[in-house]
């Protein structure tokens, strides 16, 4: 057993102030109000959480190295005797008691403070044998470690059910951390939970100016720029679960295995049928182009550019009304599906008919292009609003990123005015295709690693869906890759 010499009266004072310290990641299960325990124990039984904890803290990329787990003395004592020390990891136990001792000779180190533990792990031999460092509890240790500068990631099992706790930790500092990955919710032993990882994106606790109403400019020095490669410190199982990978894998699958098909544009596509992807906060920016050639090809020669006919917005707000051009006043005409959706969510949230449809067969001949994303159903459960959208035709290069961002934003807006929390966006695709002219640009995109998701903030004063303006929305920490040019097929 290795032991640090000397326990300091002030446990947060470094023995060697100039000594390097290891950075670390926190692994914790917590309720919405950051409760982590009751009477010194976990107030839930979640075998999947224990497996997640084991997988995250044990897995290394170098089989010759192992990880370290830092814990307080009470956490150590709460581990059943047959399971301690935690196998396959260096157990670092923090205690200020000079009389505390551990009767084991392997995989255990005793330190007097978090700082001295991080200094010890940064020095030889541990700097060579330890790959990653994880802080796992208990309350006092986590309160010190959670938002500290040395913390570069937080893996949280978010307990969504109401559980009585008497031990709490601080809320995450969202000015310093942004989400990297979040699993779909699961239920185990009547406890609803999900796994979420947050990564540190800035060292300052002062929130920088946010990006609003436009893409990042290289000349804007106030916007944080992310070095994507630095996030490779994450466990591989977490790094590769970034939601953008689902989109990228589908694009790669279509390019590699899609069936060649002719299409209305004459461009030709590689296609797959019956695809499903998920995206909760998947936000990108890109440019569209005029659909005038399409309008002319179907005989809409009397329309001016920009008049696409009774497409999405018209069907959502005036379904069944007679279309008389883009400048006509349609007030009070047709059926307002969007207001109907909001009314049902507020007053009858268990309704299975909370549906928004853009597909109106009688109006298709008046549209420059029939709706591609055509049908959305909303679902309310446990205070969350989720949305599933069906898209008959999906341009994976230009259309799908915008479609995901649009419906994720719509779900957030509707949840906001209904006093609900945004849940999941589920995207179901009929014909998912890559245009031949997009293959090379998309191959370039496949080489770009995902970045942390930005955080969306909506003006809390706005509760009417018709009252929103662009200034009511903020994207914090939005740092896109450089634009990749793709031509829209018309």
Q: Does an H or E element contain 475, and which?
A: strand 473-476
Please count the CA atoms within 13 angstroms of the CA of 175 that sit on its side-chain side.
Answer: 9
SS (H, E, C) 343-404: HHHHHCCCCCCCEEECCCHHHHHHCCCCCCEEEEEEEEECCEEEEEEEEEEEECCCHHHHHH
Structure tokens that stand for 147 in this block = 């938002």
Report d(CA 199, CA 297) in Å as an integer: 49
Looking at residue 262, the DSSP 8-state letter turns out to be -
Report d(CA 229, CA 120) in Å as an integer: 26
Report d(CA 371, CA 384) in Å as an integer: 28
Distances (CA, A) of 242 to 21, 35, 154, 164: 28, 26, 15, 32
Catalytic residue (choose from 165, 277, 372, 387): 372
Phi/psi of residue 211, nearest 5 degrees: -95, 125
Does 372 participate in catalysis according to the annotation? yes
Nearest CA to 432 out of 245, 310, 274 is that of 274
Do 464 and 436 touch, CB atoms closer than 8 A?
no
Q: Apex CA 140: angle with CA 134 and CA 142, to 5°?
A: 30
Report d(CA 357, CA 310) in Å as an integer: 13
CB neighbour burial string for 286-299, b if at least 16 within 10 angstroms, e if fewer = beeeebeebbeeee
Report d(CA 487, CA 480) in Å as an integer: 19
Report d(CA 388, CA 374) in Å as an integer: 11
Q: Within the chain, what is the greatest distance between any pair of CA atoms?
A: 90
DSSP 39-72: TTB-SS--HHHHHHHHHHHH--SSTT-EEEEEEE
Catalytic annotation, residues: 372
């Amino acid at each position: 057993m290795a032991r640090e010499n000397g326990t300091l009266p002030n446990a947060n004072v470094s023995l060697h102030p100039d000594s390097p310290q290891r950075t670390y990641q926190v692994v914790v299960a917590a309720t919405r109000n950051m409760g982590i325990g009751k009477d010194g124990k976990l107030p839930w039984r979640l075998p999947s959480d224990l497996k997640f904890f084991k997988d995250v803290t044990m897995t290394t990329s170098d089989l010759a190295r192992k990880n370290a787990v830092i814990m307080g003395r009470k956490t150590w004592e709460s581990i059943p005797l047959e399971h301690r020390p935690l196998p396959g990891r260096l157990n670092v136990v923090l205690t200020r008691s000079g009389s505390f001792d551990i009767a084991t000779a392997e995989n255990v180190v005793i330190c007097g403070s978090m700082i001295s533990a991080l200094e010890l792990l940064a020095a030889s031999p541990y700097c060579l044998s330890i790959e990653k460092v994880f802080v796992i509890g208990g309350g006092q240790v986590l309160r010190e470690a959670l938002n500290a500068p040395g913390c570069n990631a937080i893996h949280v099992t978010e307990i969504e059910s109401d559980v009585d706790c008497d031990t709490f930790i601080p809320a995450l500092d969202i000015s310093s951390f942004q989400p990297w990955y979040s699993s779909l919710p699961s239920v185990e032993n009547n406890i609803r939970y999900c796994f979420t990882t947050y990564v540190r994106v800035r060292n300052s606790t002062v929130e920088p100016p946010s990006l609003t109403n436009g893409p990042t400019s290289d000349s804007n020095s106030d916007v944080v720029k992310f070095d994507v490669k630095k996030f490779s410190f994450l466990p591989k199982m977490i790094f590769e679960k970034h939601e953008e990978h689902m989109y990228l894998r589908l694009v790669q699958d279509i390019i590699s295995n899609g069936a060649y098909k002719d299409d209305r544009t004459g461009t030709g596509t590689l296609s797959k049928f019956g695809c499903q992807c998920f995206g909760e906060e998947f936000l990108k920016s890109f440019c569209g182009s005029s659909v005038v050639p399409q309008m002319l090809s179907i005989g809409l020669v009397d329309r001016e550019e920009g008049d696409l006919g009774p497409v999405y917005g018209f069907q959502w707000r005036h379904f069944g009304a007679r279309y008389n051009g883009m400048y006509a006043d349609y007030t009070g005409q047709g059926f307002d599906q969007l207001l109907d959706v909001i009314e049902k969510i507020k007053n009858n949230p268990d309704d299975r008919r909370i549906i928004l449809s853009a597909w109106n067969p009688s109006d298709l001949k008046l549209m420059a292009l029939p709706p591609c994303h055509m049908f959305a159903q909303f679902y309310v459960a446990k205070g969350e609003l989720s949305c599933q959208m069906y898209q008959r035709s999906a341009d994976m290069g230009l259309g799908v990123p915008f479609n995901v961002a649009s419906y994720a934003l719509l779900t957030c807006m509707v949840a906001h005015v209904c006093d609900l929390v945004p849940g999941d966006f589920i995207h179901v695709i009929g014909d998912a295709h890559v245009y031949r002219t997009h293959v090379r640009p998309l191959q370039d995109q496949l080489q770009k690693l995902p970045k942390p998701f930005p955080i969306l903030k909506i003006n809390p004063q706005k509760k009417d869906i018709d009252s929103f303006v662009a200034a009511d929305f903020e994207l914090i920490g939005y740092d896109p890759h450089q634009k990749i040019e793709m031509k829209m097929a018309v």
